[in-house]
């Protein structure tokens, strides 16, 4: 394979990789912004769990596979379960109900 | 203690404290005043944080390239470390002290959580039929995958933390599906499991230090693989127990 | 190839800094303690992304043979920051667990989930 062909193949690969990076970055930032700005707490926690899963993909993208495994299990799994359990244990419990007082503002 | 009576007493507790907490108005969200920062303060904060962002970005952009890094130093001594995966070697051999202290932090968080209150009920509502039967399928698989991750951590991504978090997930799943910890296991067994990680790690590290010519937490090269596996096994059990106990949220 | 690795590393480092700043803003602005916990977690995730992005910048030139030109082979990323971030993730979940237990206790004792004790919550 000549050098120019190799360069062109490499450039094509990099375009896909850059697109993947851009989409992942947008997803991660968007989920973080949404989780922190939504007025309903239950929705914020669910968005945070989704953020954790996207972050695991980011770790895989950055060649940090150990951290991807740990993030999926601990960051998204255990932290998500802890947050949801806390939503239930606050009195009165904060659910995903439709009334304004129930949507988890405080 | 069956989950249903715990939940029943929890609800009574919640109802009683709601009455006792007096006249705190629980009106709809629109009736309560929004106690947020005024707009000017928020804009100022946004500008300050934008400046922080630019400062950090400049710091990152001015780092030398190519970066020296430590991967060469780790690769040079990887053979003596007893494992062939660099991250595991760093975690459990080259920087074993950090991992020991991390296990201690986990234990301290558990002690803090236990000192704040007693355990709450696991589930908000009684589990449905799917959730009741799901552990029968999933728990053996999760145990298998956790054991595999523990073993594979020596030569591939994996190790004690990932396996331990899977075990914690098993504890949470069992709790949620209506099978909380039986009464006989709520006393010493949980405490022993939670202590196992720090104890085994510190004991083996002190033993390595007591050897002639050895230092604290310096595994002798011939024994390193076996010692690291023993420490990882204890750490896995400990992390699983502590994460599941943190989910319970209080003293058993 | 070296330039592209470095650019990718800087890109993700900027994303990490953005997450840090977003989390810090939410930490300061929101009053509800659960939101503060979420903001803390997102801040720590931003720091971890910054760490690992900077750990990615370790390309290494492999000496080529007599007939092949010297290629720049991307080295395995720096394992020390990865080990530190792994430690950080576990410490973050431990801190989150303790914080959540404290929040539940505060709610059951004082009836509020904010730090200040103004009468309207």
Dihedral of the CA atoms C44, C45, C50, C55 (nearest 10)?
110
Nearest to C89 among A37, A70, A89 (CB): A70
Domain count, chain C: 1
CB distance C89–A74 less than 8 Å? yes
- Does C28 reside within a domain? yes
Q: How far is C68 from chain B (nearest CA, A)?
A: 23
Q: Kindly tell me if the per-residue pLDDT of C42 is higher than 60.
A: yes
CB distance C77–A59 less than 8 Å? no
Average confidence (pLDDT) over B40-49: 92
Complex ipTM value: 0.83
Helix (H, G, I), strand (E, B) or coil at B118: strand
* Cα–Cα distance list, C85 to B133, B161, B170, B192, C81 (Å): 36, 12, 24, 28, 6
Q: Which residues contact C70 (CB under 8 A, 6 or more apart)?
A: C61, C62, C63, C64
Lookup result for tokens 């709520």:
B186
Q: Of A4-18, B185-199, C61-75, which gets the smallest average pLDDT?
A: C61-75
- Does C119 reside within a domain? no
Best mutation target among B67, B75, B153 (most C Cβ atoms within 10 Å) is B67
Q: Which chains touch C (3 or more CB pairs under 8 A)?
A: A, B
- Does C115 reside within a domain? no
Q: Kindly tell me if the per-residue pLDDT of B69 is higher than 80.
A: no
Q: What is the CATH number of the domain that holds C20?
A: 1.10.287.3510
C121/A contact by beta carbon, under 8 A:
yes
Q: Contact B98/C83 with Cβ under 8 angstroms?
A: yes
Q: Of B1-5, B162-166, B187-191, which gets the smallest average pLDDT?
A: B1-5
Q: Of A65-79, B153-167, B185-199, C56-70, which gets the smallest average pLDDT?
A: C56-70
Average confidence (pLDDT) over B13-40: 49
pTM of the model: 0.84
Q: Contact B249/A85 with Cβ under 8 angstroms?
A: yes
Q: How far is A35 from chain C (nearest CA, A)?
A: 8
Q: Of B37-51, B114-128, C98-112, which gets the smallest average pLDDT?
A: B114-128
User: Which residues of A fall below an 8 Å CB-CB distance to B?
Assistant: 39, 65-66, 68-70, 73-74, 77-78, 81-82, 85-86, 88-89, 91-93, 99-101, 103, 105-106
Q: Which tens digits make up the pLDDT trace of A36-78?
A: 999 999 999 999 999 999 999 999 998 899 999 999 999 889 9
Q: How many CA atoms are closer than 13 Å to the CA of B26, on its beta-carbon side? A: 15
Residue B160 has what pLDDT?
93
A50 token code pair: 């989704």
Q: How far is A25 from chain C (nearest CA, A)?
A: 7
Q: Contact C78/C59 with Cβ under 8 angstroms?
A: no
Average confidence (pLDDT) over C108-119: 74
Q: Which residue of C has its CA nearest to A90?
A: C104
Phi and psi, residue B79, nearest 5°: -65, -30
Other residues' Cβ atoms within 10 Å of the Cβ of residue C64 = 11
Q: Which residues contact B99 (CB under 8 A, 6 or more apart)?
A: B91, B92, B201, B235, C87
Structural domain of C68: 2-110
Residue B70 has what pLDDT?
83
| Measured distance between the N- and C-terminal CA atoms of chain B, rounded to whole angstroms | 10
């Amino acid at each position: 394979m000549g050098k120019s062909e190799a360069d062109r193949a490499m450039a094509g690969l990099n375009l896909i990789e850059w697109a993947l990076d851009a989409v992942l970055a947008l997803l991660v930032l968007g989920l973080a912004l949404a989780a922190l700005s939504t007025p309903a707490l239950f929705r914020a926690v669910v968005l945070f769990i989704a953020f954790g899963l996207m972050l695991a993909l980011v770790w895989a993208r950055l060649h940090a596979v150990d951290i991807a495994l740990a993030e999926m299990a601990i960051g998204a799994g255990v932290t998500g379960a802890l947050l949801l359990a806390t939503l239930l244990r606050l009195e009165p419990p904060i659910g995903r109900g439709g009334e304004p007082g129930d949507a988890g503002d405080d | 203690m069956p989950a249903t009576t715990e939940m029943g007493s929890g609800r009574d507790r919640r109802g009683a404290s709601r009455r006792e907490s007096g006249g705190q108005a629980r009106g709809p969200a629109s009736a309560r005043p929004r106690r947020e920062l005024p707009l000017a303060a928020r804009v100022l904060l946004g500008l300050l944080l934008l400046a922080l962002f630019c400062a950090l970005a400049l710091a990152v952009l001015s780092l030398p390239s190519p970066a020296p890094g430590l991967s060469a130093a780790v690769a040079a001594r990887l053979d003596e470390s007893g494992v062939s995966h660099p991250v595991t070697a760093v975690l459990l051999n080259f920087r074993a002290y950090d991992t020991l202290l991390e296990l201690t932090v986990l234990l301290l968080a558990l002690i803090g959580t236990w000192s704040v209150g007693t355990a709450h009920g696991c589930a908000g509502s009684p589990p449905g039929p799917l959730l009741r039967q799901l552990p029968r399928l999933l728990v053996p698989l999760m145990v298998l995958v956790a054991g595999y991750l523990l073993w594979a951590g020596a030569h591939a991504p994996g190790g004690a933390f990932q396996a331990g978090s899977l075990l914690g997930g098993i504890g949470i799943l069992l709790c949620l599906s209506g099978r909380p910890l039986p009464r006989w296991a709520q006393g010493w067994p949980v405490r022993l499991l939670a202590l196992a990680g720090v104890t085994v790690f510190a004991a083996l590290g002190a033993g390595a230090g007591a050897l002639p010519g050895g230092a604290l937490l310096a595994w002798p090269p011939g024994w390193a693989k076996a010692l690291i596996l023993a420490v990882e096994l204890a750490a896995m059990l400990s992390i699983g127990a502590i994460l599941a106990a943190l989910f319970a949220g209080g003293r058993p | 190839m070296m330039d592209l690795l470095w650019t990718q590393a800087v890109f993700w480092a900027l994303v990490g800094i953005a997450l840090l700043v977003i989390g810090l803003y939410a930490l300061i602005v929101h009053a509800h303690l659960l939101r503060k916990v979420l903001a803390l977690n997102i801040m720590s995730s931003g720091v971890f992304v910054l760490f690992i992005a900077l750990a990615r910048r370790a390309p290494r030139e492999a000496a080529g043979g007599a007939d092949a030109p010297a290629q720049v082979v991307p080295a395995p990323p720096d394992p020390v920051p990865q080990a530190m971030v792994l430690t950080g993730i576990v410490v973050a979940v431990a801190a989150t667990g303790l914080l959540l237990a404290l929040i539940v206790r505060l709610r059951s004792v004082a009836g509020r989930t904010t730090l200040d004790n103004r009468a309207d919550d």
